[in-house]
Structure 1
Amino acid sequence: MCVALLTYADLSARLNISREAARSLARRRRLPRSRSDDGKALVSVDFSELRYMPRPRIDRQADHIAAAMAKIEAFRIEAFKAEVARLEAVATGYRADFERERERADRLAVELLQAAAETMAANAWVARLEDEVAALRTGRRAGGAIAGQAARRLGHLAAAIVDADRAACR
């Protein structure tokens, strides 16, 4: 049984609590008190009997503020998550539009290449036909009659025109 006479400040230092909490503890436990020569209160404490575990300090106002801030942060986080989800949906829509337009551009490029190839083929046919027409014109006689060779060329020309027309219709 080790009894010590301590001031409230000494008791608070030993128990790791505030000075007011030490004073309140002495009152609650009805520990014997007396006055020292300098006028300070002394408390008789038997530490073998005193089993005291201080409660964690809770600043109630700070708790309310912290809880409110936590709610605000949770709300902000949810709002940001919703905004991210909305932007991802918009980006997905834009991505689909981009893919569709890219496929359309690829198809148009292929059609353009085909049209260019057909144009080159048609120009070749035109050049050949112009050569045939020029040969027929130079092969005419003064009387206006067309010789046998010119008639064959005219027949080839007509066949070439029909072939070109059939190819263009496909």
Structure 2
Amino acid sequence: MNGEAYIKEAYQAILASDFESAIDWFEKAIAMEPDNASFHYRLSITCARSNRLVKALTHARTANRLAPDDPSYMIHLQRLEARERVLQAESAFSQESGQLYMAVALLKEAVRLDPLSVEAYMLLGVASAALGEYPEAVRAMQEAQKLNPLHTGAAALLEEYKKKLAVMLSES
């Protein structure tokens, strides 16, 4: 069997919703053709969908290194790196309040990497509000709402933060 035959098997496994087998088939394809960026990219996508972020990032980075001029590989890598920053920021939320500044920095990096991440904007808004930085919280929630106008949580938090910003401005 060659790499392409393993890829076909991987897609058959995906169609059967057997993602673990698909990952195994992609890995076999990569073993046959370790310098095939497309194989690494496909494995990365399947790992990301299976919540295996570390492995997804590893293969996305390999695909990007092997084919640095392919924009789809770069975009995929940036989305995964943004997801990684969001997860890191979430863990900072559970730490002491000094960690909120770290969370904000991570979330700003996440939205830079993936400007379509509603989750990153939402968390950025919440973290900013927790720090009393209502102008930033309002901007983040406005972006989240632009990206998903039907997100009721974003709309409610946006109104809450606008009110708090108005109070803050009236007191100064």
| TM-score bracket relative to the smaller structure | under 0.3
From the two aligned structures, give the one with the greater strand fraction: 1
From the two aligned structures, give the one with the greater helix fraction: 2
TM-score (norm 1): 0.17
Structure scoring higher RCO (CA < 8 A, sep ≥ 6) equals: 1
